[in-house]
């Protein structure tokens, strides 16, 4: 008898898969971008990565406002975990992200010129990549005193408040900062399709620049706002043109160099300040690579001696080393001198905008004027309400006994307010205020003291209304607040400005000793650099079985080599980068030495020289491409170029010609054609397919090519072509270079 199947028995795996496949719906990519990706991109831009005019991102603002609500502005420190947990009511992105934000704002981490969080415990360091901060349960925080300027008058309707993510709390859209924090606090952010990188400026200089901007809008900002200031100190190489570009457009790059001192008694160098954009680990790794490769030979040892006193990298020098020349070379070859990119992208009314420093100050001034105006209007309304109540109290002064009589004779509590309104001709608010006065205060002295404020309140209301209506008075208030902030919180510059400095223009070729050498390249990609003395002692070259010589150069260590591979790539290396070897060794295996892709091999190489001349690429299909060697020259020190020649047809030969001459091209049909190189014009792109030079029949292909002077052709006129492409002529025995047997 068959077993019955239960109704709720699980389906087979195949049924599940078929069920899932049945639910897949097709959606056009345009609809996916519009419905899914665009909201995400806008959220990242507007609500996460780009700072606003108060100099804060939403994550910063939510954290600081939570700490403000926790009374941490003037109170004692609390555990960071408490703050992180409370912040999640406004910022539901997880405790790790909130704590990372707190770390960056902390005094211990040192990423800001004026930290906003006063910290206690291990918060890591901005100049160290590997120094981890302690967990939130071990550290303690509170708001730094300068946050008083961030939250000044926040309870006086200076900024708008909105609901948090679940509508249970209110949070400010901006903080009413009384100074341009957007230029004082450094900020970085990567959004979708855009980024922001705002470097910090000295607080005193920023306040002074804002004051000058309000008084003299056409004044040159560089006269007051000298240059950016970085928490890690270092030295900024003054370039007025670069600074003017940053101040005008909000984009650009500035060079920053570390600071060091030479301890002569111990023959060592101490680096105690580094650029803000790098870390001690990055500098040490690069110096280590330079020492291992032999480019820097003056260093005996380098170690990190950073302690509680601050950053310190120590370099032990070898005897006779010049510290100035060494540091100049390290500044050029390592992040000890780095470029600080600037991209002043800021949200203005919810719209990202890249602005120069002057425009940022204008936007901040306009926004701050609105804050001050709103504060004045709020205070004016409060004083008007108070005046209104006192005017009602003043009417009571006319007949206190009447007021007492009305209250005493009123039978119902609910009728006290209406009876006072009728008896003295006052409104409900005034009547309620009078009714709430304690019995002991219903005397003439008390009422006279209170009503004496009426004239003072009227003067204050008139003054506040004048502030609201007159922008010049608002500017004067902002200027006075900026002067107070500057007096209380300004600090000396940390980053020194180097106006007079010598830019080290020494090239890598000059830094290496320019000595004569002999270079050998084998067919399988082994490279040897041999000194003349070593070559004279033993000239017989050793190769692997089946390998042999391919190319040879007599050159110097300062020259640059270009290695072309079978993957349409070119690798650059200086001759001096390779170690000296002997003829009795195989040499350096280039695919490993140059970091080539798996299976990639070198097929040809040349010396770049001054990048004059042209490269001729001969392809199997009979075409030849002429590309100027200068197309392979790069402004940066790139080690690998891609797409250096066409991949349409297999490459058979490469020739480098410094001057025009005749060339001979051979085919597998035993034909040859001779033509002048000037008949081919250089192409603008490296990957050009070239022009047809040799007409091919059937299965025959182009075999190889050589300069005519290096061939065995005797009668060149037989093979010379008047026009291209040409069929060429069959090689005669005397032109093949074969010796004939004779009796």
| Range with the poorest average pLDDT among 82-91, 212-221, 248-257, 439-448 | 439-448
Average pLDDT over residues 460-474: 95
**Residue range(s) occupied by CATH 1.10.268.10 in the chain:** 373-489
Predicted pLDDT of residue 320: 87
Q: How much helix, strand and coil, in percent to the nearest 5, is found in the chain?
A: 35, 20, 40
Q: Kindly tell me if the per-residue pLDDT of 5 is higher than 70.
A: no
**Domain 259-335 CATH assignment equals 3.30.1360.40:** yes
Average pLDDT along the chain: 90
In which residue are the tokens 């209170």 written? 450
Q: Give the model's confidence band at 513: pLDDT under 50 very low, under 70 low, under 90 confident, else very high.
A: low
**685, 665 contact by CB (below 8 A):** no
Extract the tokens encoding 544.
Answer: 């692997």
Interatomic CA distance for residues 558 and 560, integer angstroms: 7
What's the pLDDT score for residue 578?
Answer: 86
> Would you state the structure tokens that stand for residue 509, as one six-digit string?
């070729």
Q: Is the peptide bond before 725 cis (omega within 30 degrees of 0)?
A: yes
pLDDT tens by residue, 294-308: 788 899 999 999 988
Mention every residue, 6+ apart, whose C-beta is less than 8 A from residue 391.
Answer: 430, 454
pLDDT at 645 over 80: yes
The structure tokens listed for 468 are 């609201």
Q: What percent of the chain has pLDDT over 90?
A: 69
**Model confidence over 352-374: pLDDT tens digits?**
999 999 999 999 999 999 999 99
Return the axis-axis angle of helices 416-424 and 357-397, rounded to nearest 10°: 90
Average pLDDT over residues 266-271: 95
**Please, where in the chain does CATH 3.30.1360.40 lie?**
259-335
Q: How far is CA 295 from the centre of its chain?
A: 29
For residue 568, pLDDT beyond 60? yes
pLDDT on residue 2: 43
DSSP state, residue 385: H
User: Taking residues 101-129, what's their average pLDDT?
Assistant: 96
For the chain, where do the domains classified as CATH 2.120.10.90 start and end? 508-736
pLDDT single digits (tens) 156-173: 999 999 999 999 999 999
- Determine how many CB atoms are found less than 10 A away from the CB of residue 217: 11
Between 320 and 23, name the one with better pLDDT: 320
| Distance, CA of 100 to CA of 369 (rounded, Å) | 33
What is the rounded average pLDDT of the residues 557-568?
92
**How confident is the model at residue 85, as a pLDDT?**
95
Domain with CATH 3.90.199.10 in the chain: 45-177
Secondary structure class of 692 (helix, strand, coil): strand
For domain 508-736, which CATH number applies: 3.40.50.150, 2.120.10.90, 3.40.50.300, 2.130.10.10?
A: 2.120.10.90
The mean pLDDT of 708-731, rounded to a whole number, is: 91
100-104, 691-695, 738-742: the lowest-pLDDT one: 738-742
The pLDDT value recorded for residue 504 is 56
List active site positions: 138
How many residues does this entry show for the chain?
743
Identify the bridge partners of residue 352 per DSSP, sorted by sequence position.
347
Residue 741 has pLDDT above 50, yes or no: no
What confidence tens digit (pLDDT) does each residue in 630-643 have? Answer: 999 987 778 899 99
- Give the CATH superfamily of 45-177: Topoisomerase II, domain 5 (3.90.199.10)
User: What pLDDT, on a 0 to 100 scale, did the predictor assign at position 23?
Assistant: 67
Tokens read off for 216 = 């003299």
**pLDDT tens digits for range 526-550:** 999 998 888 888 878 889 898 999 9
Strands, E assignment, 193-267:
195-198, 235-237, 251-257, 259-263
568 sits in the region (left: phi over 0; alpha: psi -120 to 50; else beta) called: left
Q: For the residues 465-479, what does the mean pLDDT come to? A: 95
Long-range contacts of residues 150-156, Cβ cutoff 8 Å, at least 24 apart: 150/54, 150/64, 150/116, 150/175, 150/176, 150/177, 150/178, 150/181, 151/68, 151/73, 151/175, 151/176, 152/176, 152/177, 152/178, 153/371, 153/375, 154/68, 156/374, 156/375, 156/378, 156/379
Residue 22 is predicted with a pLDDT of 52
- Higher pLDDT: 449 or 329? It is 329
Q: What is the CATH number of domain 373-489?
A: 1.10.268.10
């Amino acid at each position: 008898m068959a077993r019955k199947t239960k109704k709720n028995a699980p389906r087979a795996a195949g049924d599940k898969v078929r069920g899932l496949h049945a639910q897949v719906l097709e959606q056009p990519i345009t609809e996916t971008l519009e419905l899914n990706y665009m909201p995400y991109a806008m959220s990242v831009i507007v609500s996460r990565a780009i700072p606003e005019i108060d100099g804060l991102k939403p994550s910063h603002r939510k954290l600081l406002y939570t700490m403000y609500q926790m009374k941490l502005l003037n109170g004692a420190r609390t555990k960071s975990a408490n703050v992180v947990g409370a912040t999640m009511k406004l910022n539901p992105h997880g405790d790790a992200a909130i704590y990372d934000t707190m770390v960056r704002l902390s005094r211990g981490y040192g990423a800001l010129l004026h930290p906003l969080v006063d910290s206690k415990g291990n918060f890591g360091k901005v100049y160290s990549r590997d120094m981890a901060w302690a967990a939130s349960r071990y550290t303690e925080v509170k708001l730094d005193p300068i946050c008083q300027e961030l939250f000044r008058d926040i309870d006086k309707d200076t900024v708008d408040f909105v609901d948090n993510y679940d509508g249970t709390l209110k949070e400010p859209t901006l903080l009413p900062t009384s100074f341009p924090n957007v230029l004082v606090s450094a900020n970085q952010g990567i959004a979708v399709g855009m980024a922001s990188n705002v470097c910090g400026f000295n607080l005193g200089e920023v306040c002074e620049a804002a004051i000058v901007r309000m008084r003299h809008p056409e004044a040159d900002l560089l006269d007051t706002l000298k240059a950016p200031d970085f928490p890690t100190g270092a030295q900024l190489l003054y370039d007025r043109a670069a600074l003017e570009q940053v101040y005008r457009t909000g984009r650009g790059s500035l060079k920053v160099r570390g600071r060091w001192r030479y301890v002569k008694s111990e023959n060592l160098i101490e680096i105690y300040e580094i650029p803000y954009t790098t870390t001690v680990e990055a500098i040490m790794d690069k110096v280590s690579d330079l020492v291992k490769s032999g480019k820097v030979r003056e260093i005996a040892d380098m170690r990190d001696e950073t302690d509680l006193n601050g950053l310190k990298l120590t370099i032990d020098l070898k005897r006779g080393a010049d510290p100035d020349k060494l540091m100049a070379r390290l500044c050029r070859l390592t992040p000890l001198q780095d470029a600080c990119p600037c991209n002043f992208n800021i949200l203005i009314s919810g719209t990202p905008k890249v602005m120069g420093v002057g425009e940022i100050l204008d936007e901040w001034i306009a926004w701050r004027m609105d804050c001050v105006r709103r504060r004045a209007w709020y205070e004016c309304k409060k004083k008007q309400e108070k005046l209104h109540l006192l005017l009602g109290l003043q009417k009571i002064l006319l007949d206190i006994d009447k007021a007492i009589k009305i209250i005493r004779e009123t039978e119902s509590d609910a009728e006290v307010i209406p009876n006072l309104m009728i008896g003295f001709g006052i409104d409900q608010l005034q009547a309620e205020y009078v009714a709430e006065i304690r019995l002991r205060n219903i005397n003439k002295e008390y009422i006279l003291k209170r009503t004496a404020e009426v004239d003072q309140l009227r003067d204050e209301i008139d003054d506040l209304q004048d502030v609201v209506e007159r922008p010049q008075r608002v500017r004067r208030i902002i200027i006075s607040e900026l002067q107070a902030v500057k007096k209380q919180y300004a600090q000396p510059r940390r980053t020194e400005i180097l106006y007079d400095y010598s830019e080290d223009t020494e090239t890598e070729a000059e830094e290496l000793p320019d000595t004569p050498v002999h270079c050998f390249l084998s067919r399988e990609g082994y490279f040897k650099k041999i000194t003349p003395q070593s070559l004279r002692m033993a000239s017989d070259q050793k190769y692997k079985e089946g390998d042999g010589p391919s190319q040879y150069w007599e050159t110097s260590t300062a020259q640059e080599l270009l290695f072309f591979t079978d993957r349409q790539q070119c690798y650059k290396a200086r001759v001096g980068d390779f170690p000296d070897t002997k003829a009795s060794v195989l040499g350096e295996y280039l695919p490993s030495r140059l970091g080539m892709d798996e299976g990639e091999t070198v097929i040809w190489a040349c010396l770049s020289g001054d990048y004059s001349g042209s490269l001729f690429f001969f392809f199997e299909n009979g075409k030849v491409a002429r590309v100027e060697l200068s197309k392979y020259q790069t402004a940066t020190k790139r080690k690998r170029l891609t797409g250096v020649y066409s991949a349409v047809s297999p490459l058979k030969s490469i020739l480098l010609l410094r001057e025009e001459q005749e060339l001979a091209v051979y085919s597998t049909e035993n034909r040859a054609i001779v033509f002048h190189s000037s008949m081919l014009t250089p192409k603008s792109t490296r990957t050009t397919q070239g022009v047809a030079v040799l007409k091919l029949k059937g299965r025959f292909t182009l075999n190889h090519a050589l300069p005519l002077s290096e061939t065995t052709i005797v009668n060149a006129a037989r093979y010379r072509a008047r026009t291209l492409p040409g069929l060429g002529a069959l090689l005669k025995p005397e032109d093949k270079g074969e010796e004939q047997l004779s009796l």
